Amino acid sequence: MDIINHASGWFANNEELVLQYIVNAASALVIIVVGFIVAGIIASSIERVMNKRKVDNTISSFTGSMVKYLLIAFVIIAALSRVGVQTASFVAVLGAAGLAIGLALQGSLSNFAAGVLIVGFRPFRAGDYVEMAGTAGTVKSVQILTTTLTTPDNKEVIVPNSSVFGGAITNYSRHEKRRLDLIIGVSYKADLKQTKAVIQAVLDNEPRILKDEPITLGVLELANSSVNFAVRPWVKTSDFWPVRYDLLEAIKNALDEAGIEIPFPQMDVHIDRNA
What pLDDT digit, counting tens, does each position of 134-168 carry?
Answer: 899 999 988 878 899 999 999 999 999 889 888 89
Q: How far apart are CA 7 and CA 130, in angstroms?
A: 68
Phi, psi angle pair for 185, to nearest 5°: -100, 135
Which amino acid is located at 210 in the chain?
L
**CATH numbers and ranges of domains, the chain:** 2-104 (1.10.287.1260), 123-171 (2.30.30.60), 177-257 (3.30.70.100)
Give the Å distances, CA to CA, from 108 to 76, 134, 144, 145.
21, 20, 9, 7
What pLDDT digit, counting tens, does each position of 113-132 carry?
Answer: 787 788 778 888 888 999 99
Q: Are 215 and 203 a contacting pair, CB within 8 Å? A: yes
pLDDT of amino acid 86 = 62
pLDDT band at 13 (very low <50, low <70, confident <90, very high): low
Most confident of 12-16, 48-52, 148-152: 148-152
Helix residue ranges, H only, the chain: 2-13, 15-52, 57-82, 87-104, 106-121, 161-165, 192-204, 240-257
DSSP code for 227: E
Q: What is the mean pLDDT of residues 239-256?
A: 96
* Cα 274 to chain centroid, rounded: 67
pLDDT of amino acid 132 = 92
What pLDDT digit, counting tens, does each position of 84-93 carry?
Answer: 666 555 556 5
Exposed / middle / buried, residue 90 (Cβ in 10 Å: 0-12, 13-18, 19+): middle
What pLDDT digit, counting tens, does each position of 199-230 carry?
Answer: 999 999 999 999 999 999 999 999 988 999 99
pLDDT of amino acid 206 = 96
Indicate if the pLDDT at residue 240 is higher than 90: yes
Q: How far apart are CA 57 and CA 34, in angstroms?
A: 27
pLDDT of amino acid 226 = 93
Q: Are 190 and 222 a contacting pair, CB within 8 Å? A: no
Q: What is the mean pLDDT of residues 30-34?
A: 83
pLDDT of amino acid 20 = 73
